[in-house]
A and B are shown apart, each in its own frame.
Chain A
């Protein structure tokens, strides 16, 4: 029998790329690629745990990039979608890409290519939404703090935007779903995980982590938002199309409706 295996990696993007490298190098017939956090189901095949190796990951990254810039973005964005079985789909995609003569001419009628580009597009859309919908609250420790709960793992993608924009204030954006955050300490951005006692939604209920001023500004923003409406022009359908309801609980201007 061939060298058939299920490969286990640590869940990081570099880990995934390392896995791809190892699979190519050892000519493994990949049954599946799984995160080590998932309950493994290697019942019918042998499993092998792959240890992340930045050098190997880089070689795969460069290999993809030399084929097409577009593809490297697609691969990274699609990976962050965390879609079920995304690793195996990406693996097949990368295989196609590396063996193709000209990566740019990938065929969009191919199901896998299409799926990757669709996933990447959804992740891209959420990246933009998060850049728009993050709402910071100023804590007593002088940190601008925001919770998010995005459908996809977009923190790594929005970090640059916030670092460029808010270069003179400390800020922390925390992904409640994935239980990690990015913290900017006026020098650089680092990954943090916190033990949050309470999730600071934009609740009417006040938390003592924030100054009163903070709630004043939220009220002012709320008022401002209300006053921008022109009654004779209301179009609710268009409104929820732009601001999907699942984001409302983080938006202070939606406080009462959440």
Chain B
């Protein structure tokens, strides 16, 4: 190994890849074939954590940061004056295998700037995955980036070797995309997505008939949107997220607070704060849509185009819809139980189970793990003591905020002081 050269490349190409927030190694359950190397676990494993608390699970690098495009929000854009480098295919294979054997990682997440054209780039990414699978008998996790506008044939092949495929839409609105990535068309992103979706469905159906059908991207596909680069509203973001979940069977949509990387009048300037609290609220909303049975227009609509910063989206919805409350824990249906602030889906299941045997009171709920400091304002149970109903939304919000010490509390107060 030419250590110095590899070291330099790794530094450049890992640095350029870190803005992709996804590092998930979950959702796939590849077993170790023929006494080869590696397997994947359904839940994934975090081998370390970055200093901002994100999971480090995969070797996340670009094949190259040479790029023929000039997307304004991207460090790798053509016009940016940065050092460029490119890995050889074998170099990526060797690094992955050697990191994997030492138990540093669950696998590889390979992306790339676009050199020559989309297909040429995509072919290289596939070549790495293919080599790992066929020559090294590697059964660990592989996440490949789909290159915008890559051909259907290549997207088919990619899924044969990758566990997950993703293509980052990055800019949630079409107008924003035009402004910041003039070389790209919206269809360049959706074409590979559509192909992957169709293949996922086709393979699934075939497996029903022929058990030995090979795997196709068993961990599905995902995408990422940058938050806070183009003045989009939370409604814009979540409506597009919903669209991608539905239209392309996305496994996950990631939201990435924009980290300024350019002095460009179209974008927030270098040094502006990363909107981490906003990012967190978007993830909470995403969660409510996927697991709690909320529809996106209940949480965000023309009257409420942005999420509240000071309270989480479920509490915010409840405060705007006090006529649905209080909910009776012992009789309400699952859907309404899930809408009580402070109530997790696990608690909902436990309540449904437990209440078949007895009427539940405060003590039971506490043991079950309901966050009563919030929930108590929105529910009644088998007890004569409950919070008086004459509290209005404003008062309840005030009381909850007084007791809460969220992890973003500090940030919230500094953001508030900015408005004063």
Which residues from chain A sit less than 8 Å from chain B, CB to CB? 128, 131-138, 144, 146, 164-169, 213, 216-217, 219-221, 223-225, 227-230, 232-236, 238-239, 241-243, 251, 253
In contact, A165 and B18 (Cβ under 8 angstroms):
no
Query: Assuming the A-B contacts A227-B15, A235-B52, A253-B48, are A167 and B1 also in contact, with contact meaning beta carbons closer than 8 angstroms in the complex?
Result: no
Instruction: Count how many chain B residues have C-beta atoms less than 8 Å from C-beta atoms of the other chain.
Output: 44
Question: Is B267 in the interface zone, CB < 8 Å from A?
Answer: no
In contact, B102 and A136 (Cβ under 8 angstroms):
yes
Residue from the list B1, B45, B101 in contact with A216, Cβ < 8 A: B1
Residue ID in chain A nearest B8 by CB atoms:
A223
Residue ID in chain A nearest B274 by CB atoms:
A232
Q: Mark B243-276, 1 if CB is under 8 A from A, else 0.
A: 0000000000000010100000000000001101
Residue from the list A223, A235, A242 in contact with B11, Cβ < 8 A: A223
Residue ID in chain B nearest A242 by CB atoms:
B49
In contact, B39 and A164 (Cβ under 8 angstroms):
yes
17 contacts between A and B (CB under 8 A): A133-B47, A168-B36, A168-B137, A217-B98, A219-B3, A219-B7, A220-B10, A221-B102, A223-B10, A224-B10, A225-B48, A227-B18, A228-B60, A229-B52, A239-B49, A239-B51, A242-B49
In contact, B104 and A169 (Cβ under 8 angstroms):
no
Complex interface: chain B residues within 8 A of A228 (CB): 14, 18, 50, 54, 56, 60
Residue from the list A165, A216, A217 in contact with B39, Cβ < 8 A: A165
Shortest Cβ distance from B233 into chain A, in angstroms?
Answer: 23
* A88 to B18 Cα, complex, angstroms: 51
Complex interface: chain B residues within 8 A of A136 (CB): 101-103
Which residues from chain B sit less than 8 Å from chain A, CB to CB? 1, 3, 6-7, 10-11, 14-15, 18-19, 31-32, 35-39, 45-54, 56, 59-60, 95, 98-99, 101-104, 137, 257, 259, 273-274, 276, 407
Shortest Cβ distance from A18 into chain B, in angstroms?
Answer: 35
In contact, A230 and B18 (Cβ under 8 angstroms):
yes
Complex interface: chain A residues within 8 A of B53 (CB): 235, 238-239, 241-242
Query: Assuming the A-B contacts A227-B15, A228-B56, A234-B52, are A132 and B45 also in contact, with contact meaning beta carbons closer than 8 angstroms in the complex?
Result: yes
Complex interface: chain B residues within 8 A of A251 (CB): 48
Residue from the list A165, A224, A235, A242 in contact with B38, Cβ < 8 A: A165
Query: Assuming the A-B contacts A137-B102, A167-B37, are A236 and B51 also in contact, with contact meaning beta carbons closer than 8 angstroms in the complex?
Result: yes
Give the A-B contact count at a CB cut-off of 8 A: 121
* A223 to B15 Cα, complex, angstroms: 10
* A229 to B274 Cα, complex, angstroms: 14
Query: Assuming the A-B contacts A164-B39, A216-B3, A228-B14, are A242 and B46 also in contact, with contact meaning beta carbons closer than 8 angstroms in the complex?
Result: yes
In contact, A229 and B32 (Cβ under 8 angstroms):
no
Interface centre among A225, A228, A232 (most CB of B within 10 A): A228
